[in-house]
Amino acid sequence: MNIILGLVMAAVGALITIKSEAMLNMFGRVGFFEKYLGTEGGSRLGYKLLGILIFFIGVMIATNVIGDFMYWLLSPLINAGRGGG
25-80 per-position pLDDT tens digit = 998 888 888 888 877 678 898 999 999 999 999 999 999 999 999 998 988 888 76
5-16 per-position pLDDT tens digit = 999 999 999 999
Q: Which residue from 71, 45, 49, 69 is spatially nearest to 59, judged by alpha carbons?
A: 69
Q: What distances in angstroms separate CA 9 from CA 53, 54, 58, 66, 71, one per listed residue?
A: 10, 6, 5, 13, 21
